[in-house]
Structure 1
Amino acid sequence: MASWMKEQAARAKNIQVTAEDKEKALDAQPVPPRTAPGQLMQLQATAERQRKEIADLKVQLDRGARAKRPISKLHEVPGRRRKLTAEQYAELKANLAKYPLVHPVILEAREDGEWNINAGNNRVAIYRDLGIEEIDSIVSEMEPDQAERLAFFSNLFAPSLSDYEKYWHFQRLQETADALTQQELAAAVGLSESHVSKIFAFDGLPAEAKVALEERPDRLGADAAAQLSRAHSEGRTREVINAVERLVKEERYTQKEAVSSVQAKPATKPPPAETLVVKHGKRNYCEITTRGGVIGVRLKVEAERANEWAKEIQALIESKLKQ
């Protein structure tokens, strides 16, 4: 899968060429293009080849041996199961308890005579919950990397797939595809760079927050994740973890509230300066102000005595300290 992804990332672009050009490119062996027209033709042909490959994989599924197989011999492969919310899982369970399975689950044979589940992990899990011992299935003859690839794209573009699960798939794909850049990854899976970049906002979350999200990945979208990640980078890590954990546990707690809870609090304004007035007869002799630990004396009359009064104030403070 790594080599396929690297090749796809290097070549896939959205370009226009003629049908004849695409037909020729599909039959040709991939070679490094030397001219701009040749490069455009080969990149578009790569996208055509990908669509043809996925169609061929589906044909292989249709030709698979369909039969009821014991659930006790079916095994889940990490990364192939789509995470459902409790509500989605309950709805699917209620449906499967009442109606027969419409689409068989897809399996791949193991060396021990049992099977790995390629597609349909949730259906198998529900059948286990219901105590049903067998499930309608097809055994595919795909190579392991082909099965992994089809499962990846099947999950990636599922309508109910959460942003965090997309991130998890992208991250896993990056790790297995020789450290693809986000730009290369976007080209490989046919999404815009901005969309992929947005999904990778989850990268900036604390590890504890990511662990919490595995339980309910649907609770946090990429936009809110970006703001929480920013708060984490600014040192409000504990607040971010608390916000995510609360999102997972409390259905009524919203993403907006979570983001608000980690925002930097505005600086507290100092209290307004207090002004004391000393009168001499009916006139204001001086004003005394205090602000942030500073005491100021402003003489309204007899300004020439400022130094004298400063020494008087000094003497007063010293006498107070000696008491």
Structure 2
Amino acid sequence: MANWMKEQATKAKNIQVTAEDQQRALDAPPVQARTAPGQLMQLQATAERQRKEIADLKTVLDKGARAKRPIAKMHEVPGRRRKLTAEQYAELKANLAQYPLVYPVVLEARGDGEWNINAGNNRVAIYGELGIDEIDSIVSDMEPEQAERLAFFSNLFAPSLSDYEKYCHFQRLQATADALSQQELATAVGLSESHVSKIFAFDGLPMDAKAILETRPERLGADAAAHLTRAHTEGRTKEVIEAVNRLVNEERFTQKEAVASVQAKPAKATPTGQTLIVKQGKKNYCEITARNGIIGVRLKVDAERANEWAKEIQALIESKLTEKQVS
């Protein structure tokens, strides 16, 4: 798969597309695109190529024998199952409970006489829940590498695919593609580099947060993930894990609230002064404040003696200064 991805990335960088001869552009020799429109057309060409490859791979399935096979002998391959929200899963289950299967699931033969599921994991799981022992299926003789591509691109272009699931697909693809850069990966799958870069914001989340998110990946988008990743790098890992946990388990807890919960708390302002109270019996006689080099005396009782007390304070300060000079 590594060679295939490198080939896709190299070719897709240098393909230009026009409305009149899109197919010819797909097979054209390399031409460097120097402008933003040219680069956009390259990405469009690459996306079209991947859709064409999906169609080509699907034609391979026509050679398979369609029949009902026992679901007890079907096995899920990690990474190939598209995660659905609870609502989507419930809708699919209700549909399958009432109507016959329109599209057969796609299997690949194993050495032990059983099958791995290439496409249709959710349908197989639901049939099991409904107590149905067999499901309409096709066994394909495509290579495991081809099956992986088909599952990847079929899921990638699914409208309901969450940002986190895209990240998981990109991560797996990048890991098996000979250290393919994000730019090369973006070009190969037909998406903008900025979009792919945004998706990789999940890469910086704590492992515990990712594990929690696996159960409901649709709850956290890439934009919010970027904020949580930043908080993690700044040392607020515990808060990030708690925010993801609440997102997954509390329906009313929003991404906006999750981001706010991990933001750094503003430092408490240090007091700029203090207030001293002088009592006469149980009454406050006066308040003395000191702020930014200013001393103030506010009389609560005997306000008419303000000038007298001002002179007393003056005399006290002068005497203190004299003592310092003598010492």
Q: TM-score, normalised by structure 2?
A: 0.79
Letter of the 1:115 counterpart: W
The 2-side partners of 1:167 and 1:247 are apart by 18
The 1-side partners of 2:256 and 2:155 are apart by 27
1:95-127 Cα offsets, whole Å, 9 max, x none, are: 111111111101111122211100000000111
SS for the counterpart of 1:107 is strand
Letter of the 2:162 counterpart: S
RMSD after superposition: 3.4
2:55 alignment partner in structure 1: 55
Letter of the 1:154 counterpart: S
1:88 alignment partner in structure 2: 88
Give percent identity, aligned residues only: 73
1:235 aligns to 2:246 (yes or no): no
Once the two structures are superposed, the pairs formed by residues 1-323 of structure 1 within 5 Å of their partners are 1-13=1-13, 15-16=16-17, 23=24, 26=27, 36=32, 50-274=50-274, 289-290=289-290, 308-309=319-320
CA gap of 1:71–1:25, structure 2 versus 1, over 3 A, is closer
- Asked whether the equivalents of residues 17 and 25 of structure 2 are also in contact (C-alpha less than 8 Å), the reply is no
- Asked whether the equivalents of residues 288 and 295 of structure 1 are also in contact (C-alpha less than 8 Å), the reply is no
Letter of the 2:320 counterpart: W
- Asked whether the equivalents of residues 2 and 177 of structure 2 are also in contact (C-alpha less than 8 Å), the reply is yes
Structure 1 residue 61: Cα displacement: 1.5
Structure 1 residue 150: Cα displacement: 0.6
SS for the counterpart of 2:91 is helix
CA gap of 1:18–1:83, structure 2 versus 1, over 3 A, is closer
- Asked whether the equivalents of residues 17 and 45 of structure 2 are also in contact (C-alpha less than 8 Å), the reply is no
1:66-109 Cα offsets, whole Å, 9 max, x none, are: 10011111111111001112222222112111111111101111
Structure 1 residue 25: Cα displacement: 7.3
The 2-side partners of 1:160 and 1:17 are apart by 29
The 1-side partners of 2:122 and 2:48 are apart by 32
Question: Which segment is superposed worse, 233-242 or 263-272?
Answer: 263-272
Structure 1 residue 248: Cα displacement: 0.8
The 2-side partners of 1:178 and 1:201 are apart by 21
- Length, aligned pairs only: 297
The 2-side partners of 1:21 and 1:206 are apart by 43
Question: Which segment is superposed worse, 266-275 or 165-174?
Answer: 266-275
- Asked whether the equivalents of residues 71 and 135 of structure 1 are also in contact (C-alpha less than 8 Å), the reply is yes
CA gap of 1:10–1:307, structure 2 versus 1, over 3 A, is farther
Q: TM-score, normalised by structure 1?
A: 0.80
Structure 1 residue 18: Cα displacement: 9.3
SS for the counterpart of 2:118 is strand
Letter of the 1:203 counterpart: D
Gaps of 5+ in 1: 279-286, 314-323
Gaps of 5+ in 2: 279-286, 298-309
